[in-house]
A and B are shown apart, each in its own frame.
Chain A
Amino acid sequence: MIMSVFVRQMAPMPLSAIVFLIAGLIALPLLYVTYSAITVDAAVWERLWNTRVPELALNTISLALGVALVTLCLGISTAWLLTRYTFRGRGFWEWALVLPLAIPSYVLAYVYTFLLDLGGPIERIWQALAGPEARVFSPYTFWGALLVMTLNTFPFVYLLSRSAFLTFNVSYEEAARVTGASKWRTFFFVSLPLIRPALVAGLFLVTLYVVSDFGAVSLLRFQTFTYAVYQQISGRFDYHAASALSLLLVAFAIAFLSAERWFRRKSRFYQTTGHQRPLRPFPCSSIKTTMITGYLAIVFIGAFALPTAYLAYWTVTGLSAGTVSGTFLEYLWNSLTLSATAATLALCLGTPVAYLASRYPSKWTILCLQGAYSGYVLPGPVAALALMMVFMQGVPFLYGTVVVLILAYLIHFLPAGLQAMESSLHQVAPNLEEAARSLGHRALHVFRRITFPLVRGGFFVAWMLMFIQAMKELPATLLLRPVGFDTLAVRIWLEASEELYQLAAPPALLIILVTAPIVFLLSRNHWQIS
């Protein structure tokens, strides 16, 4: 209601100009990739179509679908157990299952290449159980990629379905049980449909994560579009093919996004309203507790404990054997400074965009917002490619400096932060600002005194989100890093590509140590309320 009064006002001119510039800057790479892909020779398209595209499409789509399916099972089952049952240690598992988000996909991939390798620990255990001829699947296959990506992404589904299970109205389930439906029937026909919006949201997150992932698939040599783009840039002298493949990837991502929005619009029907009784979880017998704990432990060990333990072990043995020197502290410093700078800058640039879009929504400002969100559909190597080409032709002297890298991070991660900023601005009723304005304060002053203190928390969340993403970013950093400026992520990838597990371990452990507390804080924020 308040908004409806507000929309009629025109956005202030200087602010609009600034926002337009920012959005333009962020959208530039996407426009450039599209342009250069369209101008690519038909012969290049034909060659790609005949050689690469079918395989890449099949791999990308099957991996995305496979991961979506398995994460769905894992995420729903863990969320269900942790919301509907109460048992010893529940509090621990609740936050433990979020921790896999702190492990970058390439770290998980590199630990699993070791574990699943010929003669690796898993194969040895398996052979002891099933005879000396038994083999486990190679990590360098579809199954390896599926395993790693699933373990890496299921917390998305877990968190979203958990929050949905906690907030929906239990009376529906009770009504179903009272009218004679079995436990399973109630679960599949009442509970699951009720949390469908959360599931859809989770699945789209997982799918887009899989499609845009570079680190894991490159270490597992599983050919997806994102990996192929990187190979075209780094392994050949062929930028045209790279931009053509990028465009396909971007088209894929946009199609995905539109589908997601369509689902979400439908999902409004399923919001529950009215009074609710608080959920009462069932207490468990000791046998049941053991079974549930066992299941959760397997998931947690596979996705977090085992990889982290191996990293710690390699770090310790490496340090004591002297193969690992203290130089990785320098990489830590590089990572921290770079990520913090990028996150801070993104926050500064994001603020006017988010403010304008939430206070003066019009076709024009929404367009700017969409432009700023375009980084979403640009996976790392594609953003890097676009920036390379733009800088090469525009300002070549900046190429190979930190500026390009920070810009790549900005483009890539602003959308995530923007989302948090936008929603926290939406929560501040504009009439507070209007009241301050009517008392004669200038707009900037009002923002500083009224709006900012209210959205501070949300903005800090946005900063942290962008910070940890920048810490983990790999492909753009690999392609654009300045000389002598390796980050933790780059070091991990370089050493892991050489299968130097001990050397890759300390930086990997450091990334986890830095991001895990942030992941923990971010998710706790939600738990306190529930």
Chain B
Amino acid sequence: MQQFLCLPLAGGSTIRSFFFGVRALQRGRALNTRLNTRWMCTGVVIFWTIVIGLWAWPTASYAAESLVVYSGRAERLIKPVLDVFEDKTGITIQLLTSGSTELVNRLRIEGPNTPADVFITNDAGTLERARELRLLRPISMKEVERNIPPAFRAPDNSWIGLSGRIWVVVANTQRVQSHEISSILDVADPRWKGQLAIPNAVSEYLQAGVSVILALKGEAVAKKFLEGIKANAGNQVYSKNRQIVDAVAKGKVALGLVNHYYIYRHLAKHPQAPITPILTDQEEGGMGMIMNVAGVGVTAHAKHVDAAKRLVQFLVSQAGQRLFASLNKEYPLHPEVEADPALPPRDSFHVAQVPLTRLSELRDPTMRLIEQVGLR
């Protein structure tokens, strides 16, 4: 029994006596003779079922026209889109969901042997990183060039943005007036001490946000911002955006830093919650909202390039864009597709002008800064 979870006690009379009973040991009786033939038969049956199963399964997975998609996006946000594509085209899709960075690593390790045809993830920095590592294939498609503005794709189209999310300040309307926060940097002000909830240092959104501040305002400001939010947050450091929104809605803190859709997700469930997003840095010449995109790329060693391109084509089409973005209340990047009516219209704010391709090169300095400040 104690070996259960792979733990190291080899031999030894205590252990053996535990497992097989001391008396049995003392009488020198053969063990477990009670485990009779019937169980053995069961074992044999199980074994052969398995052998047959093993034999059957690879043929099932590589039949017909199929695509392998590696996705760093939560399955419930991507699967419905892929299902529609499958229905429309008859191309079957196999999906591997995992962490974004982990998938890049996996692509790198697999090299030319990768089964993946398409890579989808939530973070432009990761996509750009994959491009730098030559894991993605440049594609030229007029649908892509027509539907997605150049700011939201790699110069050679090796990755293409699909939806945008903005990093906002969420405020408790009973405790904060919207005009009290005009810039995202304001939340680092000492007057909000103990009033701020922040994500932990592992958060991709925090990393991307700090990268943008670093790029536009320089290292000193970024560092001051990090030190400020660390001091203001105290122990209000959360691993989930949802928890931050929750804490703000309950009035535990006045302010929080989150991706916009978490606020609307909360409002959809609790329409009366006293929370509101604050669009920051909107003054003339201001930094603008910090925006990141989810995107897609065809892998460099894709075996089904045509099918992969059809998927990309679907994702940038109006129908695909609407579906992809609305599942998570994000902003579609196709200029003619309307965002969810609950969101502030896309043309009501401007976003920070940091090319998304720079997020990748800013990643290391950002991580260093975060570690230096000691954000947890």
Contacts and interface: CB of A to CB of B under 8 A. Distances in A.
A205 interface: yes
A396 B108 CA distance: 11
Contacts of A260: 8-9
B50 A337 contact: yes
B32 A257 contact: no
Given A205-B2, A469-B5, A397 B113 contact: yes
Contacts of A376: 6-8
Given A201-B14, A234-B99, A499 B20 contact: no
A413 B6 contact: yes
A253 B9 CA distance: 12
Contacts of B1: 98, 101, 156, 159, 519, 522-523, 526
Interface stretch (B144-152, B239-247, B290-298, B313-321): B239-247
Given A201-B18, A337-B54, A498-B74, A236 B8 contact: no
A98 B2 CA distance: 11
A264 B105 contact: no
Interface stretch (B39-47, B162-170, B335-343): B39-47
B31 A457 contact: yes
B239 A529 contact: no
B94 interface: yes
Interface in A243-267: 253, 257, 260, 264, 267
B46 to A, nearest CB: 6
Given A156-B2, A163-B22, A341 B54 contact: yes
A478 B99 CA distance: 10
Interface of A: 51, 98, 101, 117-119, 140, 156, 159-160, 163-164, 167, 197-198, 201-202, 204-205, 208-209, 212, 221, 231, 233-237, 253, 257, 260, 264, 267-268, 271, 333, 336-337, 340-341, 344, 369, 373, 375-377, 388, 392, 396-397, 399-400, 402, 412-413, 415-420, 422-424, 426-429, 454-458, 460-461, 463, 465, 468-469, 472, 478-479, 481-484, 494, 498-500, 503, 519, 522-523, 525-526, 528-530
A456 B113 CA distance: 42
A392 B371 CA distance: 31
B285 interface: no
A102 B354 CA distance: 51
Nearest to A498: B74
Nearest to B133: A237
A92 B6 CA distance: 27
Contacts of B21: 163, 526, 529-530
B376 to A, nearest CB: 9
A197 B98 contact: no
Given A118-B246, A260-B8, A392 B109 contact: yes
A208 B7 contact: yes
Contact of A457 (B10, B35, B76, B113): B35
Contacts of B102: 233-235, 479
Contact of A461 (B14, B35, B94, B105): B35
Contacts of A483: 61, 68, 70, 94, 96, 115-116
A419 B200 contact: no
A484 B250 contact: no
Given A118-B243, A163-B17, A416 B105 contact: no
Contact of B6 (A198, A204, A412, A519): A412
B50 to A, nearest CB: 5
B271 interface: no
A499 B242 CA distance: 10
Contacts of B24: 529
A236 B101 contact: yes
Contacts of A268: 13
Interface SS majority for chain B: helix
Contacts of B50: 336-337, 340-341, 344
A525 B35 contact: yes
Contacts of B371: 51
Given A416-B4, A525-B35, A423 B16 contact: yes
11 contacts: A201-B15, A336-B50, A337-B49, A337-B57, A392-B109, A400-B110, A415-B6, A423-B20, A427-B20, A457-B32, A498-B74
A354 B34 CA distance: 22
A457 to B, nearest CB: 3
A271 to B, nearest CB: 7
Q: Of residues B13, B29, B31, which shows the largest number of chain A Cβ atoms within 10 Å of its Cβ?
A: B31
A484 B4 contact: no
Nearest to B112: A396
A419 B14 contact: no
A514 to B, nearest CB: 12
Interface of B: 1-25, 28-35, 39-40, 43, 46-47, 49-50, 53-54, 57, 61, 68, 70, 74-76, 94-99, 101-102, 104-106, 109-111, 113-116, 129, 200, 202, 239-240, 242-243, 246-247, 250, 252, 371
Nearest to A481: B96
B8 A396 contact: no
Given A156-B2, A376-B8, A419-B15, 15 more contacts: A118-B252, A156-B1, A163-B17, A163-B18, A205-B2, A209-B7, A212-B7, A399-B109, A457-B31, A460-B40, A460-B43, A468-B4, A484-B94, A494-B97, A499-B240
B103 to A, nearest CB: 9
A528 B55 CA distance: 40
Nearest 10 pairs between A and B by C-beta? A457-B32, A529-B21, A234-B102, A416-B3, A484-B94, A376-B8, A457-B35, A167-B22, A340-B50, A197-B14
Contacts of B75: 494
A264 B4 contact: no
B110 A399 contact: yes
Contacts of B2: 156, 159-160, 201-202, 205
Contacts of B116: 483
Contacts of A427: 20, 25, 28-31
A235 B12 contact: no
Contacts of A202: 2
Contacts of B129: 237
A249 B201 CA distance: 23
B234 to A, nearest CB: 14
Given A119-B246, A525-B32, A396 B11 contact: no
B105 A237 contact: yes
Contacts of B19: 420, 423, 461, 526
A59 to B, nearest CB: 12
B32 A460 contact: yes
A525 B10 contact: no
Contacts of A237: 101, 104-105, 129
A503 B75 CA distance: 11
Contact of A469 (B4, B34, B110, B246): B4
Q: Of residues A119, A396, A465, A529, which shows the largest number of chain B Cβ atoms within 10 Å of its Cβ?
A: A529
Contacts of A164: 14, 18
Q: Of residues B2, B8, B239, which shows the largest number of chain A Cβ atoms within 10 Å of its Cβ?
A: B8
B53 A333 contact: yes
A202 B99 CA distance: 36
Contacts of A399: 109-110, 113
A337 B202 CA distance: 35
A235 B94 contact: no
A429 B116 CA distance: 55
B6 A267 contact: no
Nearest to B47: A344
A392 B112 CA distance: 12
